[in-house]
Each structure stands twice: as structure tokens, then as C-alpha cells.
Amino acid sequence: MNHIVNLPVESLTHVVNIEDPRVLVPIKELEEMFMKDSSKPITVKSMYSTPDISEKIIKYNTDIATITNCTRKTIGKTHDVRYFKITVKFYPTEKEVELILPSYSKLFSRTAKSYVPAEFIRKSDILTDYTGNIVQVLTNELIEDYKPTEYYSLTLNTMNSKNPITFYLNGIFGNVCYNDFNLEEDEDDTDNEE
């Protein structure tokens, strides 16, 4: 199963690469790997998870997702997207990080036992990182008039067609719905033809 993740450059800073000792690597390094002129196809082993919420304690079933493409593109015509600045704290390091997330991205809340859209993430939501540790939400605010100009497009592939492909957004477990940043300009014209 293939899945395309399109996120503004400011939203995606790190990607999980299980073949790298650091595991959480800067997206710029991934971009450079795919930009190299190579005679053989480049793939990066990442991971995805499916939460099992049938018990009181959530279990995460994790498997390998292969990143087969990473490109940086200019944003053209797109849907109306709202952006949110979310501050989180990773435990046990207590490192605070600011995220700029689009409204079509969701983070998995252990509190709600579901994927919560970026705009509805609250302080009461406890998130999970790629190691299974807790990520606490500190703030969430709408960014008015935010207009990103470039985005990353990643293609992920798994051998599992039963479960949706999830994504570790800067190391935090979540899901990113597809958003086209280059809608066809003549799309509106076809609606008017009768």
C-alpha cells in the first residue's frame, strides 16, 4: 500500500529512519539522499504503527514502512488550510518543541484513544513519540494568515493493505491526510460545463 504525505517545509523537520543510529533524522538529510544522482533506487526504512485500544493500556503494533521518495516542491493552488502552532514537551528529556501543523494532520491522543486533528489538540491530550514515551501538549494556537511557500512530498510504502499507514510527525505518532498543494488550475472550469 502506498501513501503520500505532503507537509509544508516548516511543519516537517524530522523523519524516523530505523537504519540510522539516531533514528530521528533531519528531513534535509533525507531530501539530500533522494536528490543524489544514483543508478539504483533509494529507499529509507521508516516505521508506522497501529494502536490497539481494546484494552485499558494501549498497545502499539509497529511495522516497517519504506520511504521511496522525498522531494521539495513549491506550493501552488491548494485547499484552504489552517495552521496551528503547538508546543509540546518530550519526556523523559523534558525538551520543548514548537510544531507548525496543518489542519489536515492528526496526532494520536492516548487520553482520547483516537487521532485528534491538530486544531482540536488540547493540554489534556497525552501523545506518544516513536520510542513509546509520553509527549505532553503545552499550548495550541491558530496562526493567522500563515502562507507557506514550499512543501515536502514523501511516498511511503508498506506490505500491509489492511491498516492505514500512520506517520511519525517529527517523531510524534499521528496520521497525515492527503493534501494536494498543486491543484489543477482548470479544475473550477470543468464544474461550470453543462
pLDDT at 193 over 70: no
| 34 touches 48 (CB < 8 A) | no
Instruction: Give the single-character DSSP code of 119.
Output: G
Q: How confident is the model at residue 178 (pLDDT cuts 50, 70, 90)?
A: very high
pLDDT tens for 23-56 read 999 999 999 999 886 777 889 999 999 999 998 8
Helices (H) and strands (E) in the chain, counts: 2, 14
pLDDT tens for 80-123 read 999 999 999 999 999 999 999 999 999 999 999 999 999 999 99
Q: In a 3-state reduction of DSSP, which class is residue 37?
A: coil
pLDDT tens for 75-91 read 999 999 999 999 999 99
Angle at 147 between CA 142 and CA 148, to 5 degrees: 110
| 113 touches 58 (CB < 8 A) | yes
Percentage of the chain beyond pLDDT 70 is 94
| C-alpha cell read off for 149 | 511557500
Residue 137 vs residue 190, higher pLDDT: 137
pLDDT average, residue stretch 9-30: 96
Angle at 20 between CA 14 and CA 24, to 5 degrees: 25
